[in-house]
Each structure stands twice: as C-alpha cells, then as structure tokens.
Chain A
Amino acid sequence: MDLRELYQEVILDHGKNPRNHRFPEPHNREGRGYNPLCGDKITLRLQLDGDTISDVGFIGQGCAISQASCSTMTQAIKGKSIAEVEELFSKFRTMVTSDDGSDDLDALGKLAVFAGVREFPMRVKCATLGWHTLNQALRNEGGEAKTE
C-alpha cells in the first residue's frame, strides 16, 4: 500500500489550500453535505445560468481527501453544463470505486489524482462527498447530501 498513491501532491496542496473556498455572489443553488462517519461537512453554493454552472464555491471542514476533492471539483465544473457535470461525476465515481479498468482517466483530467482512493475503500465517501453535495445542489433538494 503506497500512501503517496493516495496523498498525491495535488491532493495535499488542495487539502491545505482549497480553491474556490468562498460563497459566490450571486448564487441560486445550495447543497449541504455531511459524512457522519468522520464529521466532514460541506456547504456548496453555485450560480446556474440556464444550463451552465457559471460560478461555484464551497465552505467546509474535513479531511484532506474530502476538501481536496471538493476543491478540484469546483475547478472542473465551472463553465460546464449539467449534462457534462453528471458525466464527470459518473466517471469519477467509477474511478474511485472499481478496478476493472473501465475508468476514463483522460476525460477526468486533474481529477485523475484521486484514482488511488480505490485502494482505500473507507475513504471513498470522503472523495465523493463534494460530488454528492453538488448533485443535491443541482437537484435543489432540501436536506443534506449523504454519502451512503
């Protein structure tokens, strides 16, 4: 088990200094995520213009994986359409949960640094918390996004 596979430089950097760590103004969507296992909490706000995420940011606290994942996610989704974002989430989830080689690392770009998470099943929820929260914000459902 190589820890450097999990804690890549990009993850350590984003974990320490999360990007888009602010609430965008204006915003018209909000999602809240909570991982009861470790207490990680994220509030994500975004501006949806038509079908496009024109701005996004989050405030949260938690482990390096959850914070870095949310940080890199906000960078990856800005300017993308809902359909594009959903496809990205689907690819990301496949990458961190399966090892059948079906993941599409090129399409994931910088997000591919989370590939090492699949070797750490207990940490998959950390890596997907931001994405579940985004999903909830886009659906504009009340309540909290869960990683279950």
Chain B
Amino acid sequence: MNEVSPITASTAGFDAQHVREDFPALHQEVHGKPLVYLDSAATSLKPQSVIDAVTDVYARDCANIHRAVHLLSQRATARYEEAREKVRAFLNAARKTEVVFTRGTTEAINLVAQSWGRTYLGEGDEILVSELEHHSNIVPWQIVCQQTGAKLVVVPMTDRGEVLREAFEQQLSERTRLVALAHVSNALGTVLPVAELIELAHQRGAVVLLDGAQAMSHVDVDVQALDCDFYTFSGHKLYGPTGIGALYGKERLLEDMPPYHGGGDMIRSVTFEETIYNDLPYKFEAGTPNIAGAIGLGAAIDYFTSFDAQAVHAHESAVLRYATKALESVPGLRLIGTAPEKVAVLSFLMDAAHPHDVGTIVDSEGVAIRTGHHCAQPVMEHFGIAATARASLGMYNTTDDVDALVGSLRKVQELFG
C-alpha cells in the first residue's frame, strides 16, 4: 500500500460523502459494479438541484424570453436574467452587460475570433497561444489567421507541462495583438500563471483571452483581479447542463465588436435598408437561447457557491495529492503532466497496456476514465505519445475512488503483465 494515510472524506468545512448524496448519477452500478466517476474534466455530473431547475423551466416557466407580455414569458425572462447575474457575480465581472451566454467555451472563443479577430487582425499580426491548449483554443485562431493573414505563434511548455514566464516573454513581440491561453490545462491539469502573463501581454498592448473551461470549478476566477479582456467557460464542467456557457468581455471591447450571429433578439430595429443592433449583451445573443440551460447554469452556480470554495479546492487538492502518490506507486505507471501548480487531472501511461486497453479494463471494474488525446494533440506530440489515460476529479470524488482506480489498474497488470 502507499504510504500516504487516507484522508477522511471530510476536510475542514467540506463533507464529500454528504455532497455525493446530491448527485443521483453517482448512485448506480455499471457492469455490476458501483460507478466510480473519474471523468469530470470531460463533463461533471449534475446535482439534483440543477436537474430540478432545468425540469422546472420546462414544466412550469416554459416560454420564450424578452418577447411576450404574458406571465410565463415574464417568469422565464426573469429567471434567465437572474442566471446572468449569477454568472456575473461568480466571475466578479463589473456589470451584467459584460456576460454573453454562449453554447459553451468553444462558441465563446469562436465568437471572439470571428468578431474581434476579423475586425482587428491584419497581415503579419500575431496571435499567441501555448503548446498545451485544447483544440478549441487553437483551431478558431487558425481559421481567423487564414481569413486575416495573421500568424499563430506558440509558447512552448516544459516537460513537466508548465508554461513559464520566460518562454512566454520570448514569444511576445511588437506584432502580438492577441494572447489566448488556457487558465487550466485539460490534458495535464497545469494551472497557468495567468495573472503575470496577462500583465506582460498588456505591457505590449495585446488583448488577452482565457479559456476557463477547466478552471471554473477548481480555482478562483475573478476577471477584474485578473484584468483579462475575455474569459470563456462551459457550464457543464461546473456541474451545470451541457450546451450553455458564457463569454465575459470588457464592455469597451464588446461595444466596438460587430455581432457574431445575426437574427432575432440581437436587434433594436430592422428594415431592409438598415438594422440597428441591440445593446450588450443581446447584440451577441441572436435567436432563442438555451433558456433552460442558462437557468440550470444559474442553479449550478448556486449549488457550488453554497460551499466554501476554499474548502472545495482544499478537498480536491488533498485527493489529488493522495492520487498522485497512489498512482506513482503502481509499477510501470508514468504520470504525464507534473507541474507543481496543477489541479484535478491525472494523465498517465502504463508500460503494460495501451491507454485504450486500460480504459476498457478499468471500465469493466466500474471506473470511468477518459482515454485518448483529450483534444490536445500538440500536447501528445510534445511527449511523443498518441494518447494517455486520464483520471480527473470533481468535488464528489474521495480517496475511495482513487483506491478503486488503483485496484482496477491491478487488473490491467494481471491481464497484460
């Protein structure tokens, strides 16, 4: 057994066992074994309160928003806008008009690429990303590079999976117009030193977008303290529904950006000669949005903020430390991504078996992990591998889950050893 003593499910002010009661999906068997869910970096499970909020929209307040005078529409509109206020407060944005609902992080990044990027980027301008980005923070910029003649420049990462200030500074240039960085790496769990990188980028006059998909539930996010220009995230990795997320943008930037999509709700008046666009944030919310999703996201934020965030983070990092030690003690196992600043993610390889085989075998033991390139093929390339197995944590995971994972990995060795 490993030398770390198992921590109890309850660390100061946070009781993971109690939290588990709130997540109905945890209480099922898969392949005849109790489910051990270690794939929250792909999507987190949903607490009952979020499920109820979404159901309630369709069961009770089922109406379109910002349109009719009837009561149901008023209630739906009010709840949708309350959800926006909850997102604003959670991000600590200065105003609600700076919060645009999107389908998720991917759409938010594409919105900035197409609206801001096509407006302000030109031949020879540079977009700076890091080597550890998710494809959704690479491809939208490649598209806008093709459209504008701008160039994608990459900050290399270290073999531990860090993006260091020195490497970042080296790639910053007079032509850097936009910096797009993950706040937390999805494949490795690295937390980037975004505050100091943002400061450096601003000194060069560059605009900074953060991909917060993996960050929101694991680190504190305060867009004003960070002073980032854009922040993007997905609700479904924050215990909320799929298909909803948000873009935060500084008001002066959003004001000057053209709409991303045209349609209903984003206009003030339309004639065949001229259309006057609506105010922020509606200018960027064409068409009937994911109303139930936004309200569900609001419920997820209510749920998450009902806990002391520091206690949640402390619990998760205790489980991460335990898991790191436990996996390191598995013979023939190598962790990929060992940055000192990391959260919630354990990517690994086993000598005995390919990640895909590992995934199937641990699944047969009820343990759900992700295998593959995690939509971060440049990261895989850096390490000269095609794929990893990845266990990732949520607030409901305990050291028991880690023990179950380690136990299931023994089965891999039995079969393949």
Quick one: given A1-B364, A61-B386, A64-B357, are A39 and B373 in contact (CB under 8 Å)?
yes
- Cβ < 8 Å to B, chain A residues 5-19: 6-7, 12, 15-16
Minimum distance in angstroms from B9 CB to a CB of chain A: 29
B326 contacts partner chain A, Cβ-Cβ < 8 Å: no
Whether B356 pairs with A63 at a CB distance below 8 angstroms is yes
C-alpha spacing A62/B355, complex, angstroms: 9
Whether A39 pairs with B416 at a CB distance below 8 angstroms is no
Whether B387 pairs with A39 at a CB distance below 8 angstroms is yes
A38 partner, pick from B31, B364, B386, B415, beta carbons under 8 A? B386
Chain A 55-74: CB-based contact to B (< 8 A → 1; otherwise 0): 00000011111000000000
Of the listed stretches A103-111, A119-127, A131-139, chain B binds A119-127
C-alpha spacing A41/B377, complex, angstroms: 14
Whether A3 pairs with B371 at a CB distance below 8 angstroms is no
Chain A residues whose C-beta falls within 8 Å of the C-beta of B411 in the assembled complex:
3
Quick one: given A38-B387, A39-B387, are A62 and B354 in contact (CB under 8 Å)?
yes
A83 contacts partner chain B, Cβ-Cβ < 8 Å: no
Chain B 339-381: CB-based contact to A (< 8 A → 1; otherwise 0): 0000000000000011111001100100000011100000010
Chain B residues whose C-beta falls within 8 Å of the C-beta of A7 in the assembled complex:
357, 361, 415-416
B386 partner, pick from A16, A39, A123, beta carbons under 8 A? A39
A144 contacts partner chain B, Cβ-Cβ < 8 Å: no
- Cβ < 8 Å to A, chain B residues 364-417: 364, 371-373, 380, 386-387, 411, 415-416
Minimum distance in angstroms from A49 CB to a CB of chain B: 34
Whether A122 pairs with B372 at a CB distance below 8 angstroms is no
Whether A38 pairs with B360 at a CB distance below 8 angstroms is no
C-alpha spacing A108/B360, complex, angstroms: 25
C-alpha spacing A123/B411, complex, angstroms: 19
C-alpha spacing A34/B277, complex, angstroms: 46
Whether A62 pairs with B386 at a CB distance below 8 angstroms is yes
Whether B355 pairs with A38 at a CB distance below 8 angstroms is yes
Whether A120 pairs with B386 at a CB distance below 8 angstroms is no
Q: How large is the interface on A (under 10, 10 to 19, 20 to 34, 35 or more residues)?
A: 20 to 34
C-alpha spacing A63/B411, complex, angstroms: 16
B361 partner, pick from A3, A37, A39, beta carbons under 8 A? A3
Quick one: given A62-B356, A64-B357, are A3 and B372 in contact (CB under 8 Å)?
no
Minimum distance in angstroms from A9 CB to a CB of chain B: 10
Whether A3 pairs with B386 at a CB distance below 8 angstroms is no
Chain B residues whose C-beta falls within 8 Å of the C-beta of A39 in the assembled complex:
372-373, 380, 386-387
Whether B371 pairs with A38 at a CB distance below 8 angstroms is yes
Chain B residues whose C-beta falls within 8 Å of the C-beta of A65 in the assembled complex:
356-357
Chain A residues whose C-beta falls within 8 Å of the C-beta of B373 in the assembled complex:
39
Chain A residues whose C-beta falls within 8 Å of the C-beta of B360 in the assembled complex:
3, 6, 120, 122-123
Whether A12 pairs with B415 at a CB distance below 8 angstroms is yes
C-alpha spacing A42/B356, complex, angstroms: 16
Q: Who on chain A is nearest to B33 by CB?
A: A1
Whether A41 pairs with B415 at a CB distance below 8 angstroms is no
Binding site for A on B (CB under 8 A): 31-32, 353-357, 360-361, 364, 371-373, 380, 386-387, 411, 415-416
Given contacts A62-B386, A64-B416, 19 further A-B contacts (CB under 8 A): A1-B364, A3-B364, A16-B416, A38-B355, A38-B371, A38-B387, A39-B372, A39-B387, A40-B356, A40-B386, A62-B354, A62-B356, A63-B353, A63-B355, A63-B356, A64-B354, A65-B357, A120-B360, A123-B360
* 20 pairs, CB–CB < 8 Å, chain A vs chain B: A3-B361, A3-B411, A6-B360, A7-B357, A15-B357, A16-B416, A38-B354, A38-B356, A38-B371, A38-B386, A39-B372, A39-B373, A39-B380, A41-B386, A62-B356, A64-B357, A64-B416, A65-B357, A120-B360, A122-B360
